[in-house]
Every structure is written in structure tokens, then in C-alpha cells.
Copies of this chain bind each other. A is one copy, B any other.
């Protein structure tokens, strides 16, 4: 049939077009591309709809499991992207979006990302990455040196030595933490006499070989949830992730840590690794790393520092001391998509000992041959994009001093925000910022005073109501889409039980003091909504009003504004 043949040829030609003909600058997609190139903030501001739709409504636009049978015009699809996907995305770069660890990105990241995507290198092997391989090794060496401050000769001899690796690049902090513990586990159970090592024989035989009941990882209860995943994945079991109590400042309690260690030894469980946190996800606190390094030496176990968030604090002359002791860690995780201001999907783990990663080395006949420079021989992931290029760009263009400025600004701004919260009659600061993260909650001063003298039972009733208020407050604020803080549950110094708190991360350099004032003002306005007002009236019944200065004068706090 000549007609169907003609049709086939037309389809084939269309297919070739999408691989060979660029989007015209005046096409729908071309225009968006130009708009983003010229003014990304404006594009996001214009196209992301501020007022939030319910997730169920959005789901309706993505509800078919049927792969379209026929091709769609790019222009038509782009309209869909604009109206259905972009419009209802989250404006993570907005200076008022201070709830999670996202920020505006440096402008150069966008065109450089396009170069990266166009080159489409695969870092698993030199044959598909070439110059990207030495570039990634250089990035890892730079981060290694930032942490460990090795001698020039050390780096000169090892930076491109295929028999050594200063670290591994990966898609994010979770894979970095898993890699660190994987290496620690395989080194603990290294080949030894007849035992050919855990990598060959497995964990069951490894435990028998060492004659222990299990292996455990110790970390404070503020440890990132990726350690729970790692404990499961690596076969330790979550019961053997020991979440140690913290002190009043969310730092690991060293006395409790020792107790846990003793308990483990009594149960014939071997400590695999001690984890210090340099910037807890929820409160931004830093564990006492020097003391932990001493303990890890005493316990004879791996010392890992999760500096996914706080690692870049090392750029700052003023604040570097907070991380003192990190250079004694066996491994350190640093996320690039956090405070290195790289787009999502880039993390790293560096190892003090450049032979450590050989504990997880692997090879294959068609790539990763012995002696090759293929990076894939010691990464958890296989095929990987050239994201290290964007870290390289950040380090080169922003420089040490530029990052120092960003770090210093963030910490300063967190202190400013903490002062605002402290001075405001309706909020309670629940954790002081050590780096650039703090937590607080809506809790009118009268209630704070009442709580100070309350019995355990009374406090529990009041906190239950406050939890509901703060949960709704965060939800309404998120849905209004103007500004955003996140929430979590914490046990903090001033309260016996876990409470719901609001969490602010001050890493976006475009966040101004005026925006911080606006965040609190919006929260004061939101509590006027009926659902929250009802809760506040219940609170008021428990807490007699007290005269005092504040935004609402002498009015009861259920009519705050």
C-alpha cells in the first residue's frame, strides 16, 4: 500500500526532525528558553501560580497511565508544561521560601547546565567522559583538601592516580552516607586469613568470623534519616542504628554515647562507625567533633562526619572553628546541591585514606578494567552525569572568599531572624542558630509564661494545642504560597516532651530582613483564620492574659491583629 508507506516516511521524517532541528526562537519552547535565560527570577515569579491548588486537583492532570500512542507537537506539550507543571511547582528559589535547603542559584549555573546536558558525558568511564574524569577527580581533591588540609605533595601524587581515590561523587548526601558506611563495613570485615572478606563471603559469615552478634552505627537522634536507610540496606538492621540522646543544644550527649557503647559491648555488638553531624538537618547544630574523634579512636571504629549541610562552613575564616575535628574523620559527606549552590542532584563523600575506597572496588570486562582511570570502579552508582562540572564552576567563579561571604551572610541572617523571633510577643525561639538554621513556634508570651510554671499535665495540654496551631499555621502558609517555613517535631531544652516547631533555613542570599519581617507578619495574620482562632481561644482559657508590649497591644492573642 503506497499510502501507508508514504505515512511511514512522513513519520520517519518527523522523527529525524526532533533530533536535528532546534526549537525556533519564536516557538513556545524557544520563547520560554529565552525568558529563562534572560530573567529566571521573573520567569519563576510569573509562571508559578502563587495560590495553591489542592494536590488532588493537580493529580487530575497526571491521571492517565496510558502512554500516548501518537506523537504530540512540542509546542502543544510545552503549553501543558507551562500550565500544568510549571504553574504548580514550588518556587524553591524564592527569597521567602526559607523552609527547606533550597536557594536561588547563581545565574551561570543555567547555561553551564545546558553545556553539561548537551555534552551528555557518562562519568562511569573515561571512554564516555574523557576530560570530565580528571575534572571530577580535581573537584574531589579540592573538597578533600578543604576538609583534610593535606600537603601539596600528597595531592600532587594522588589526584590523578588510578590506584587511589580521594572520594566519590554521587547524586546526593544519602548515597554519600551509604558509601561511607559501606566502606567502613567492608574495612571492618576485610580479608583475613581464610576469611576472604565480607564483600565476597557476606555479612552472615563475616559476623561469625569476628565472633560478634551484630555491628552498630552510633549517631545522635538528630542524625539524618539516610543512616536508617543505610543500616537497613547494608544488613545491619535499624535496631543497630543507635540514636543517642542529645544535649540541650541538639548535640550528641557524650555521656549517653559512652553508655550506649558499653551496652553494645555487653551485647557483643561491635561498633562499626561513630557519626558526627556538622549541621543537623533540623536545627543546624554541630556535634563536638574533636571529642567524637577521640571516642572513635577509643572505640576503634570508623569516624564519619555528615557535613552534607555544614561542610561549606569550612570556607569561612570566622566560623570554620565550629567544625574543628572534622579533619580527623575517616570520611566526610558534603552536598553540592545545598551550600555549594549547585542544582539538585550532586553530592560527595571524601575519605582521609586514599586507599579506603578500594574496599568497594569492582570491575567489569567492557569497562572499569583493572588499572583503568574509570571512575565507576568505586562508586555506588553506575552511569552518572557530569554534575561535577557545576561544582568546579562554583569553586572557580565564586572562589573561597565568595563562598565565605555566603556562609557568613547566612549565619548572620539566622541570628537576625532569631532576634526578631525572640523580640516578638507571639513567637518562641525553640533553638538558637549555630549555623544558619533555627526553629521557633507560634506561642504567645502569655502562654510561654504559663508554661514556665505549669505542671507536666498542664504543659502537655497546652503543648498539644500549640502543636495543632503550628501545624495548621505551617499548612496555611504553604498553601497561601507567599512565604514558606517547614515544620518538624523536636524535643528541645525548654520542654519535656516533643513539640511541633517551625523551621527556617537562611541560605538564600536574596532573603532580606524585610522578607523575614514579612514571614512573621504573615504568620500573625494566618492565626486569625477560624480554624486556628478556635484553638487559640481554647489556649486562652488555659492561660490568663497578661499585659505586655507587642503587636496586638492589650487585645487577647486570639484577636492578635
**A396: B residues at CB distance < 8 A:** 68, 72, 77, 80
B-facing residues in A233-258 (Cβ within 8 Å): 233-240
Asked if A450 is at the interface of the complex by the 8 Å CB criterion, the answer is no
Residue on B with the closest CB to A41?
B20
Q: In the complex the two chains form, is A130's CB within 8 Å of B55's CB?
A: yes
Per the bound structure, the CA–CA distance linking A29 and B37 in Å amounts to 11
Asked if A281 is at the interface of the complex by the 8 Å CB criterion, the answer is yes
Binds B, one of A199-207, A287-295, A461-469, A526-534: A199-207
Asked if A198 is at the interface of the complex by the 8 Å CB criterion, the answer is yes
Residue on B with the closest CB to A390?
B117
Q: In the complex the two chains form, is B203's CB within 8 Å of A235's CB?
A: yes
Residue on B with the closest CB to A509?
B19
* Distance (whole angstroms) from the CB of A318 to the closest CB of chain B: 13
Q: In the complex the two chains form, is A114's CB within 8 Å of B173's CB?
A: no
Binds B, one of A222-230, A451-459, A514-522, A540-548: A222-230
Per the bound structure, the CA–CA distance linking A203 and B362 in Å amounts to 23
**A22: B residues at CB distance < 8 A:** 37-40, 107
Residue on B with the closest CB to A395?
B67
Asked if A12 is at the interface of the complex by the 8 Å CB criterion, the answer is yes
Q: In the complex the two chains form, is B282's CB within 8 Å of A380's CB?
A: no
Asked if A398 is at the interface of the complex by the 8 Å CB criterion, the answer is yes
Residue on B with the closest CB to A122?
B344
Q: In the complex the two chains form, is A365's CB within 8 Å of B282's CB?
A: yes
Q: In the complex the two chains form, is B237's CB within 8 Å of A120's CB?
A: no
Per the bound structure, the CA–CA distance linking A156 and B335 in Å amounts to 38
Proximity bits, A312-350, B CB within 8 Å = 1, else 0? 000000000000000000000001010000011100000
How many copies of this kind of chain does the complex include? 2
* Distance (whole angstroms) from the CB of A85 to the closest CB of chain B: 5
Return the contact of A182 from the options B107, B108, B159, B233 (Cβ within 8 A): B233
**A400: B residues at CB distance < 8 A:** 67-70
Contact of A122 with B362 at beta-carbon distance under 8 Å, contacts A174-B381, A233-B380 already known: no
Binds B, one of A87-95, A417-425, A441-449, A549-557: A87-95
Return the contact of A142 from the options B66, B160, B335 (Cβ within 8 A): B66
Asked if A1 is at the interface of the complex by the 8 Å CB criterion, the answer is no
Q: In the complex the two chains form, is A138's CB within 8 Å of B201's CB?
A: no
Return the contact of A119 from the options B63, B89, B142 (Cβ within 8 A): B89
* Distance (whole angstroms) from the CB of A363 to the closest CB of chain B: 7
Q: In the complex the two chains form, is B119's CB within 8 Å of A77's CB?
A: no
Contact of A225 with B363 at beta-carbon distance under 8 Å, contacts A40-B22, A135-B62, A213-B204 already known: yes
Return the contact of A64 from the options B12, B67, B138, B366 (Cβ within 8 A): B138
Q: In the complex the two chains form, is A33's CB within 8 Å of B37's CB?
A: yes
Return the contact of A114 from the options B110, B240, B398 (Cβ within 8 A): B110
* Distance (whole angstroms) from the CB of A465 to the closest CB of chain B: 19
- 24 chain-A/chain-B pairs, Cβ below 8 angstroms: A23-B108, A29-B111, A32-B111, A58-B130, A62-B131, A62-B138, A63-B138, A63-B156, A64-B155, A65-B142, A67-B142, A71-B399, A80-B396, A81-B393, A85-B135, A89-B121, A171-B345, A175-B380, A175-B381, A178-B380, A229-B360, A232-B360, A365-B488, A365-B489
